[in-house]
Structure 1
Amino acid sequence: MVVYVGSFPVLVSLAGELFPALGSKDLSRVLQLIAQAVLIFAVQKLAQFGQDSLLAEPALLVSQRLRRELFSTLQRVELGALEKLSAGDLTYRLTEDADRVSEVLYKTIHDTVPSVLQLLVVLGTMLWLDWKLTIAILLLAPVIVWLISLFGAQVMRATERSQKKVSELAGLLGEAIEGLPLVRAFAAEPWLQDRFEQEISQHRQARQRTYLLVALQHPVVGIIEVIGLFAVLGLAAWRIESGDLTIPGLSSYLTGLIVLIDPIAHVTNNFNEFQQGQASLRRLREIEQEPLEPSDPADSVSLGDVKGALSLESLSFHYVKGQTVLDRLDLQVPAGSVLAVVGPSGAGKSTLFSLLLRFNTAQQGSILLDGVDISSMRSRELRQRVALVPQRTTVFSGSIAEAIRFGRRATHEQMVSAARLANADDFIQALPDGYNTKLEERGSNLSGGQLQRIAIARAVLGDPAILLLDEATSALDAEAEAAVQLGLNRAMADRTVIVIAHRLATVQEADKIVVLEHGRIVELGSHAELMNAYGRYRDLCERQIIRGVEVT
């Protein structure tokens, strides 16, 4: 950068000698000066290449590190806060916004800094050549700086609005692509098209405002520059007439003035991009403001051999203060037993799972695992002992083997053993590539029952002591449900199991059934005991036409 910028005063000096040599018709002197200028240009461009190429990797590493740290933060954001964020918006922030920050850093270092140095060096040369003319030029500098900063602030605000519209558009596209079958089923294509048209129109208008501001800045600043140039020419003509300035001196000075125009244009353009980068960086930093999962305590308890006995003691929790979700729950779940949790929507069933996995922390009371409060455990170790089989299976693209391992170290034999336990090995082996079969996005090349058995295999691979089942068969047909249920029965053996039950026919064999309403336990007992009690559970069963147990 020093070599690149330092070559400009030399070029200005050579230009001052070249024009008089052209007028004197001294060909050898002209050729000598041209050869020197070409050599200086070659050295300058070689230095510019070195500067640009050497700075590219650090700028890209910054965006890579920014993405890495923000993605790591994103994985620790509280699930309640994460669910409120748009997937399309987050995707845009971690891709386009991160790239823009990298580009601005690169341009700032490889273009803006040399341009500023060039301005200082050339201005210093011009002061040395003729301080009177340079003072006249510097009188215009505050006006140019004020105009650039004024437009820059407007560009940043317009860019923020534009990026918000792009994020909203990305979110709509994500929803639309995933929901196209539903849209077609309801013949809602015109409605979706109208909504898409509105989004892209608003995006266009926001982008257009940014472009108009940038477009307006160039002629305004350019007019000020031209006024300054002609003012200098008029002043120079007056000084030549008075004998205070020579033609060679004017040649060098005008060359410096021409050289000065280019860095001013670069600084102006890059300032606009810098403001756009500021908007992107601000959007990225907003992710860091989201609430994070509670961190592990400094004196975390290391888990040993976990048997799986659970105890809930006066457990209370709320997402919003004053709106209790779970209210003073007291419950004992012996190791190796099966507990079913039933109740209407909003009773707190899913929240209970969230607390057991320590996605959230109860405001009052505690959950004990083998007599130890789970809040004193390392969350990673706890989740290795407590496995979840969700109602809707989520898989990442990759092979079936990768889906079962899910980032854990396991031998092929351990993976196959887990698949057999989940009643999945037979259908996997029947696939053309077996465990190396590639899963398409969202596992669309497998049936729901097959995906659910993969989810069971994924859960039991780590040999968890506790298994959480969120009605893993509710969305399946009878044949698929039978295959999945067989896998579940195998997986549940010798483990503590808690089942969220929507279809009560699936929980009749549970050791205990707890009925939740408004976050409270209203009934607790076996299927037979609760049916004979003629309470809330029996009422729920009768609504689902489940045959009860006769009263004795």
Structure 2
Amino acid sequence: MPEKHAATKERSTAQSLLRLWPYVRPVRHRLASAAFVAIVASCLGLVFPLILKWMVDGPVTDRDTGGIWLGALYLLLLGIAEAVLFGFRRWLVARPLAGVEASMRADLYRHLQRLPVAFHDRWPSGQLLSRGTTDLMLLRMFFAFPLTFLVVNTVTILAGFVILLMQDWSLGLVLLAPVVPLVVLCSLFESRYSAVARRAQDQVGDLTTVVEEGVLGIRIIKGFGRHRSQSRAFHALAGTLRSTELAKARLLAAIWALIMTLPELAIGAALVLGTIQVADGDLSAGTLVAFLSTALALRWPVESMGFLLAMSQESATATERFFEVMDVPEEVEDDADAAGSGSAAPEGAGGLRFEGVSFRYPDAEADSVPVLDRIDLHIRPGETMALVGATGSGKTTLTALVPRLHEVTAGRITLDGQDVGLMPRARLRELVSVAFEEPTLFSASVGENVLMGAEGAGEEALGRALDVAQAGFVRDLPEGTATQVGEQGHSLSGGQRQRLALARAVVGRPRFLVLDDPLSALDVHTEALVEAALRRVLRETTALVVAHRPSTVLLADRVALISGGRITAVGTHQELLRSSEEYAWLMSGARAGDAGALGAAEDVKALEGAGGSAAGGVEAAEGSEAAERSGAADALEAVRAAEVVEAAEAMEAVEAAEENAR
């Protein structure tokens, strides 16, 4: 959700709840049957006063013991019948309402999966979780109890007042006197309680977000000793929620007190007037007993209206919150034939091409500076392009546009001449595979996490992908590829998670590969092994690789330098080292204006000119020590690059020897 809770369209309680009709419709007959059974059971309670009237005016007055026992038997049978009917009503609604809740939860989850990434960037996960749990539980409770009994109690009250007026119309009018004040009070209560209920449910979502962040970030909290500050944040939100819940309780207590007091006063007045009429001989004792018994039987239906209205308001609020998410448009699925209906790709249009691509986030101001501005870039078929730039230059955003995690604001991206904006997403994501800088693993087995990158792939593809990612550690796990990695893969190290994410990206042998600094968590030796294996994969695909270190850049055929959201230079690694000061500075890792920056850059150039020989590595090492003594310690990265180059070339030489031997 945006930082401030979204304003909802003003709807009445009934209008909000009617939006649930598509979910209720399949079980409407079962719910109607349950309501009918409850009405019959409730109306049986109105027969009790009539039996009492017959007993008082008949057997009791005539001292007929047999008649009294017969009346008692009637009352017992009515009581049993009422209890059985209410139990039957509960059985009727249990299964269908569980199905309604499950259907709504499934639709919500399915819809969340189809919403654009920009939506998930804006909404806290706690708000979404509370809508899928607390709000849906409220709606199930509403269908099971308040909805049914709003109907049942209304029918019971109407039937009861008909009986009262038939017994004695003057006393009946006395009991009708509180109706108008009660209607006004309920209307005022509804408007005030609705706002408080909405605020409370939004605060539950905020609290859920804090709890989730505290659980997922427990390592950071403990590592920095921030448990007290996190506890303060939690208690502040919990205190706010508590205050809101107390405000709800005060409103409910006030309306309930008034709803109970006014009918009690009316019953008291009717008792006094009825007693006077009995004393004057204008009314029989049995009729007065029946009248008062009927009035007392109507106490619960009348007094429960406040509670039922409160639950209805909370349910209407839950409905609004549910549809706030469901009303967000899904990613538009293009016609499956759209991609194939275009004209043939022009000559030279193969590979991955960015044509005048600009991008700004959907919630950005229309006149704001775009994150990406008129990007033109062509990665030829079978070529690997490294994307290099300073932090915040737009590298990750550019890679996210290829699989359409975000939609371009202007321009277009093509794969082998086909516009990705016209390509069905299912087809697009078969062609393009991605590995992000932050590896995400799911609470599943190692094999399931890797094979998520290729539907229908088998054990052979899994083994090949693990070999490419140098994830041999999997074989040492207790259950091999069947080992559960735990929530977000926290049972594994950062480097292990990153290697599994890389294996997931390459398992399907994609035609296009997008890698966002996929080796950042690896040690230098493992990195060299992964790069050597990755070279074989890159020969078979068209790849865009975000790189921050020379060792990763050396995987690429060409390099694109991005700065301020624009491509400022394209060429080979050696060409950019010679022609671009910014690129040389980025590769050296030195600070702008530092005297050691040029020296470190020259070290990198010297290493490239030497072809990564061992002697060059030693000389660079000596040079790096001198640089460190002079305050330019960042030149060590150049040595590291040389070591990686040397290891990679050695690995390639071994592979070439093996191929020649075969």
Q: TM-score, normalised by structure 1?
A: 0.93
Does residue 1:549 correspond to 2:605, yes or no?
yes
Determine if contact 1:52/1:110 at 8 Å carries over to the other structure. Answer: no
In 1, Cα distance between equivalents of 2:440 and 2:52: 69
After TM superposition, list the pairs within 5 Å mapping 1:285-300 onto structure 2. Answer: 285-290=323-328, 292-297=330-335, 299-300=337-338
C-alpha deviation, 1:166, in angstroms: 2.0
- Change in Cα spacing, 1:332 to 1:102, as seen in structure 2 (3 Å) is same
> Identical aligned pairs, as a percentage?
28
Task: Pick 1 or 2: higher relative contact order, CA cutoff 8 A, min separation 6.
Answer: 1
Q: 1:311 aligns with which of 353, 357, 376?
A: 353
Aligned with 1:30 (options 54, 59, 68): 68
2:277 to 239, 256, 264: 239
Which residue is equivalent to 1:494?
Answer: 540
Q: Which amino acid aligns with 2:385?
A: L
Amino acid at match of 2:463: V
Question: After superposition, what is the alpha-carbon deviation per residue over 1:328-353, rounded to whole angstroms, capped at 9, x for unaligned?
Answer: 22211111110011112222212211
SS in 2 for 1:88: helix
Indicate which of 26, 46, 52 corresponds to 1:15. Answer: 52
User: Residue 463 of structure 2 aligns with which residue?
Assistant: 416
Amino acid at match of 2:177: L
Matched AA of 1:317:
F
**Aligned ranges 1:135-174 → 2 under 5 Å:** 135-174=173-212
Aligned partners of 1:97 and 1:281 also within 8 Å: yes
Picking from 211, 214, 232, the partner of 1:176 is 214
Any conservation in 1 of the 2:350–2:417 contact (CA below 8 Å)?
no
- Report the Cα distance in structure 2 between the residues aligned to 1:509 and 1:479, rounded to whole angstroms: 16
Correspondence list, 1:416-455, <5 A: 416-424=463-471, 426-455=472-501
**Bigger Cα displacement from structure 2, 449-458 vs 349-358:** 449-458
Tell me the alpha carbon deviations over residues 171-218 of structure 1, each in whole angstroms, 9 at most, x when there is no partner.
Answer: 122222233332333333333333233222212111111112212222
Question: How far 1:412 moved relative to its partner?
Answer: 3.3
Match of 1:379 in 2: 425
| 1:516-537 C-alpha deviation (Å, 9 max, x unpaired) | 1122111000001111214421
CA deviation map 1:71-127 (0-9, x unaligned): 222222221231121112221221111111211122134332222222122222222
**Residues 488 and 131 (structure 1), Cα distance of their counterparts in 2 relative to 1, 3 Å cut:** farther
Give the superposed CA RMSD: 2.5
Q: Does 1:257 align with 2:295?
A: yes
- Asked if the contact 2:461–2:508 (Cα under 8 Å) also holds between the matched residues in 1, the reply is no
What corresponds to 1:189 in structure 2? 227
235-244 or 309-318: bigger deviation: 235-244
Given that 1:12 and 1:252 are in contact with CA atoms closer than 8 Å, whether structure 2 keeps it comes out as yes
Equivalences for 1:293-372 in 2 at 5 Å?
293-297=331-335, 299-301=337-339, 309-319=351-361, 320=364, 321-322=366-367, 323-372=369-418
| Cα deviation, residue 299, structure 1 | 4.5
What is the CA deviation profile of residues 124-159 of structure 1, one whole-angstrom value per residue up to 9, with x for unaligned ones? Answer: 222222233222222211212222332233222222
| CA contact 1:524–1:530 (8 Å) conserved in 2 | yes
Change (3 A) 1:539 1:414: closer
State the distance in 1 between where 2:522 and 2:165 align: 83
Name the aligned partner's letter for residue 561 of structure 2.
V
The answer (yes or no) to whether the contact 2:146–2:311 under 8 Å persists in 1 is: no
Query: Are the aligned partners of 2:177 and 2:266 in contact in 1 as well (CA < 8 Å)?
Result: no
- Distance, in Å, in 2 between the alignment partners of 1:35 and 1:302 is 80
AA aligned opposite 1:11: F
How far apart, in 1, do the equivalents of 2:462 and 2:160 lie? Answer: 69
Letter paired with 2:586: L
Deviates more, 1:290-299 or 1:85-94: 290-299
Whole-angstrom CA distance in 2 between matches of 1:413 and 1:16: 85
- Between the aligned partners of 1:86 and 1:154, the Cα distance in structure 2 is 27
C-alpha distance after superposition, 1:5-58 (max 9, x if no partner): 342343232122233434543221111111112112222221111112111222
Matched AA of 2:438: R
Q: Write the letter of the residue equivalent to 1:548.
A: V
The answer as to whether partners of 1:316 and 1:364 remain within 8 angstroms in 2 is yes
Paired residue secondary structure (1:548): helix
Task: State the alpha-carbon separation in 1 of the partners of residues 448 and 56 from structure 2.
Answer: 72
Distance 1:372 1:282, change over 3 A: same
Of 430, 433, 438, the match for 1:392:
438
- Residues 311-364 of structure 1, C-alpha deviation per residue, up to 9 Å, x if partnerless? 211222222222212222221111111001111222221221121111222232
SS at match of 1:324: coil
Shift of 1:263: 1.0
2-structure distance, mates of 1:308, 1:178: 43
Q: Distance in 2 between matches of 1:242 and 1:483?
A: 108
Deviates more, 1:367-376 or 1:455-464: 455-464
Q: Contact 1:456–1:487 (CA<8 Å) still a contact in 2?
A: no
2:110 counterpart of 1:72 = yes
Give the 4+ runs in structure 1 shifted more than 6 A: none
- 1:491-510: CA deviation from partner (whole Å, max 9, x where unpaired): 43401111111224311231
Match of 1:208 in 2: 246
Over residues 277-305 of structure 1, what are the superposed CA-to-partner deviations in whole Å (9 max), with x where a residue is unaligned? 1122222222234454343247432599x
Partner letter of residue 377 of structure 1?
A: M
Q: How far did residue 490 of structure 1 move?
A: 4.4
**What CA distance in whole angstroms lies between the structure 1 residues aligned with 2:231 and 2:45?**
56
Aligned to 1:129: 167
Count of residues in Structure 1 that have an aligned counterpart in Structure 2: 550
Contact kept in structure 1, 2:548 and 2:587, CA below 8 Å: no
Q: Kindly state the Cα deviation for residue 399 of structure 1 after the two structures are TM-superposed.
A: 1.5
Counterpart code for 1:174: E
Aligned to 2:99: 61
2:30 matched to which residue of 1? none
TM-score (norm 2): 0.78
Work out whether residues 385 and 466 of structure 1, in 8 Å CA contact, stay in contact via their aligned partners in 2: yes
Partners in 2 of 1:363 and 1:19 — Cα distance? 84
Name the CA shift for 1:119/1:196 in 2 (closer, same or farther; >3 Å): same
Structure 2 partner of 1:279: 317
Aligned mates of 1:213, 1:268 — CA distance in 2? 10
Structure 1 gaps of 5+ residues are none
Q: Any idea what the Cα deviations from partners look like across 1:381-424, whole Å, max 9, x if unmatched?
A: 10121011111111111222221222833333333333334333
